[in-house]
Chains A and B, each alone.
Chain A
Amino acid sequence: MTERKEIYSVSSLTREIKGVLENRFPYVWIYGEISNLRIPSSGHCYFTLKDRNAQISGVLFRGQAARLKFRLEDGQTVTGLGRVSLYEPRGTYQIIFEYMEPKGAGALQLAFEQLKQKLAAEGLFDAAIKKPLPPFPRRIALVTSPTGAVVHDMLTVFRLRYPNAELLVVPVRVQGDQARFDILAALSGLNRHMAADLIILARGGGSLEDLAPFNSEEVARAIHQSVLPVISAVGHETDYTIADFTADMRAPTPTAAASLAVPDKRRIKEDLAVLTARLRLCLDRRLADGRQRLDAASRRLVDPKKKIYDHRLRVDELTQRMARAIRRELSDRLTAQNWRRDRLTKASPLVSVTAGRRDVQGLSKRMGLAMNGRLTRNRDTLKRLEQNLSALSPQLVLDRGYSIVRDSRSGEVITRAAQVEIGSSLDVVLADGSLKAVVERKDDGKEEI
């Protein structure tokens, strides 16, 4: 007989089952295929996770969904971390996911996540402990396989971008069980001898299994302990390894690591050109300032040289003007001289002598003629004047009975009675002699003659 120790109510059984489930599976990694995905307006994702033989409900709440780097889709295989939860009102259980990622990665992925969490908790990934990369590395160690495309491609980038860095290839195996020890030895050796100022840990793409050495704790700790800065460049852009998280810098690909490690020579040259231009500009500005001040000062300062210059110019000018003036003067004088010579030639004494002679002859002739004429005329005039004169001669007058009375004392001819006084002595000239008379009486009346 079975003792019915206890009769569960639906609720109490459900609660008990819930307790068992949730305590037994607090957090689980699970992978499967998503189907029947529903995302209502709440933003929470509801789906069924299934594999060939079973299925289980899953929920990813909106907050967690937003943190995922991919979008959930039906048919997608995912691996997720979640806790089992029983929803009592419906008696159903589901997994409430905290985190999901695409691709079923299985145990490796899990190991990866666990190691990642462990190292993160230890602070190996802290941004604060990342070492800065040298801006101009002189020697770079390439910890990688010496064969294959990876090293070749990186060397090409270095040669093109910055040929000044010396490269040291540190050959290691990059896959297989022993690879991690090669890498470990390489990193510690380089650090022991400080044989480079930058380390690049590189490998081409591969499966999660291929990349296993770079997800190993040994490599992670070796990177962490490296005094020399480490760039990790493992796999493709989408691959993240523990080495990437631990390194001082992660490069998406090996060639990208080469580009990150060294500056671009062309860029440096451009920077140099800019610096040099700035240098020149500064000095030019300084010089321009100085020149301006100097100019200002010089303007106030009379430069003796300039004066000499001015004088020289003035002398030159004067000399030229003088020369011009002299030339003009000479030519004027020459002209004048010519003119005078002409005049002189024209005024030659020979000319005037001849002319004079001619004149003299003419004049003499004319003079002769004139003289003759005048003589004749004068002779005639004389004759006539003689006749006139004889007509006027006092003798004739006297002959006709007139006499000339003079004052005896003064000799004055007396023509008027008033000229004499009574008693004055008079000389009376007659035609044939003279008389001396005395005035007895004066009559100023008009006596008839």
Chain B
Amino acid sequence: MAKKKFEEAVAQLEAIVEDLESGDLPLDKAMKRFEEGVKLSKICSDTLDEAETRVRILTGETDEGLQDAPFTEADQRGTE
């Protein structure tokens, strides 16, 4: 499965739960939705666990866009 945006995944999960809670789905569809939901829940959970904050510092601007570089201890100490 392609990597989904976290908030999309959460929104989808919520939609599935509401679908299921409405109780209108036939059982086989409900099972399918459930499996989807469990998968999404895992994706979301994994995403949260895997992430490590990436910090960059803006270094300049060109016509293509902003340029950045990893934000280091040295940046934080500064030169002042």
Q: Compute how far the CA of A166 lies from the CA of B23 in the bound complex, rounded to whole angstroms.
A: 39
> Which range holds the interface residue count of chain B?
35 or more
A290 surroundings in chain B (CB, below 8 A)? 27
Give the contacts of B1-58 with A (CB-CB under 8 A): 5-7, 10, 13-14, 16-17, 20-21, 23, 27, 30-31, 34, 37-38, 41, 44-45, 47-48, 51-58
B75 surroundings in chain A (CB, below 8 A)? 146-147, 169, 171
- Is there contact, CB below 8 Å, between B14 and A167? no
Main secondary structure of the interface of A (DSSP, over half): helix
Give the contacts of A275-308 with B (CB-CB under 8 A): 275-276, 278-280, 282-283, 285-287, 290
Q: Compute how far the CA of A332 lies from the CA of B77 in the bound complex, rounded to whole angstroms.
A: 106
In angstroms, how far is the closest chain A Cβ from the Cβ of B75?
5
- Is there contact, CB below 8 Å, between B7 and A282? no
Chain A, residues 108-141, CB within 8 Å of chain B (1/0): the string is 0000000000000000000000000011101001
- Which one of B16, B30, B45, B55 has the greatest number of beta carbons of chain A within 10 Å? B55
In chain A, what residue has the closest Cβ to B65?
Answer: A193
Report how many residues on chain A are interfacial, defined by Cβ distance under 8 Å.
44
* A168-B56, A286-B30 given; 18 more Cβ-contact pairs under 8 Å: A136-B5, A136-B10, A147-B78, A155-B53, A155-B55, A163-B51, A164-B51, A165-B53, A166-B55, A265-B48, A268-B48, A276-B38, A276-B41, A278-B17, A278-B21, A279-B17, A282-B17, A283-B20
Q: Contact residues of B with A, CB < 8 Å?
A: 5-7, 10, 13-14, 16-17, 20-21, 23, 27, 30-31, 34, 37-38, 41, 44-45, 47-48, 51-58, 61, 65-66, 68, 71, 75-78, 80
Name 24 A/B residue pairs within 8 A (Cβ), A-sorted: A136-B7, A141-B58, A146-B71, A146-B75, A146-B76, A146-B78, A148-B78, A164-B47, A164-B51, A167-B71, A168-B66, A169-B55, A170-B57, A268-B44, A269-B45, A272-B41, A275-B13, A275-B37, A275-B41, A276-B38, A279-B13, A279-B17, A279-B38, A282-B23
